[in-house]
């Protein structure tokens, strides 16, 4: 019952920006967009979240369209260590549950 659609896989050259898209056309007005990543069976790691405005932190930038129906996670200078599955998640249930979809497998290549 994930409310997001992401490409199954993407490649990116090391040192280049990685742009990971996510569609969430049924997002509600008060639902945040979250991004997590999972590096090879390690525990998922929080990256960033946002509601309406674009957000940036030390790891990434999050661009949310004006209608909020899609967003893009940007890793400005991808490294080999950024190879992972990236999950776009919309909202948190009232039980605190994160609903993980299938995510995008990002392969950063030398």
Partner 1 sequence: EAQVTQNPRYLITVTGKKLTVTCSQNMNHEYMSWYRQDPGLGLRQIYYSMNVEVTDKGDVPEGYKVSRKEKRNFPLILESPSPNQTSLYFCASTRQGGYNEQFFGPGTRLTVL
Closest separation between CB of residue 92 and partner 1, Å? Answer: 5
Q: Which of 11, 52, 102, 109 binds partner 1 (CB under 8 A)?
A: 102
Q: Is 85 within 8 Å of 7 (Cβ atoms)?
A: no
63 touching partner 1, by CB under 8 A: no
By CB under 8 A, name the one of 53, 67, 81, 97 that touches partner 1. 97
Which of 44, 61, 105, 107 binds partner 1 (CB under 8 A)? It is 44
The reply to whether 74 sits near partner 1 by the rule CB under 8 A is no
Distance CA(4)–CA(6), nearest Å, equals: 7
Least distance in angstroms from the C-beta of 68 to partner 1: 17
* Number of residues located near partner 1, criterion CB under 8 A: 19
Q: Which residues bind partner 1 (CB under 8 A)?
A: 2, 32, 34, 41-46, 49, 92, 94-98, 100-102
């Amino acid at each position: 019952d994930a409310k997001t659609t992401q490409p199954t896989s993407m490649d990116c050259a090391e040192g280049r920006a990685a742009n990971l898209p996510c569609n969430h056309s049924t997002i509600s007005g008060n639902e945040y967009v979250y991004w997590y990543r999972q590096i090879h069976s390690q525990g998922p790691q929080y990256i960033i979240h946002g509601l309406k405005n674009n957000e940036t932190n030390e790891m990434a930038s999050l661009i949310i369209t004006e209608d909020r129906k899609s967003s893009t996670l940007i890793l400005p200078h991808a490294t080999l260590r950024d190879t992972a599955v990236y999950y776009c998640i919309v909202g948190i249930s009232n039980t605190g549950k994160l609903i993980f979809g299938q995510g995008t497998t990002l392969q950063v290549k030398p």
